[in-house]
Amino acid sequence: MAKSAVKKVQTDADVKKKAVKLVVVHLKKKLDTDYVGIEAAHEWIEAMEALFEQEEFDLKEYHRMRKELNDVIERTPEEEMRFKLRDSWYSMGKALDKKVKRM
């Protein structure tokens, strides 16, 4: 007998969370070099990963973390790294606007 697969209905929150996770993965790749202020960026990533572990999706908390990323960017003295971080900040905003595609 074939087991009937129960497909989970994807919510906007699921889509947003997955998109933000992808932004953080890409951000981690950008942080493979050493620069002044990298500790703040790593702390922010650790806080985001802790947020991902939570079962519930709290949009306000994700927006607060985006503001914190902006603070990390402002404290980064290296211009090239600020631009890379700013790209991630922008991508995170777009990720938080994502919605489930309706058929």
Count how many Cα atoms sit within 13 Å of the Cα of residue 11 in the half-sphere of its side chain: 6
The whole-angstrom separation of Cα 51 and Cα 30 is 21
Contact by Cβ (8 Å): 25, 87: no
The pLDDT, as a whole number, for residue 4 is: 55
Contact by Cβ (8 Å): 76, 82: yes
The pLDDT, as a whole number, for residue 38 is: 86
The whole-angstrom separation of Cα 6 and Cα 18 is 20
Contact by Cβ (8 Å): 64, 36: no
pTM summary value: 0.84
43-89, pLDDT tens digit by residue? 999 999 999 999 999 999 999 999 999 999 999 888 888 999 999 99
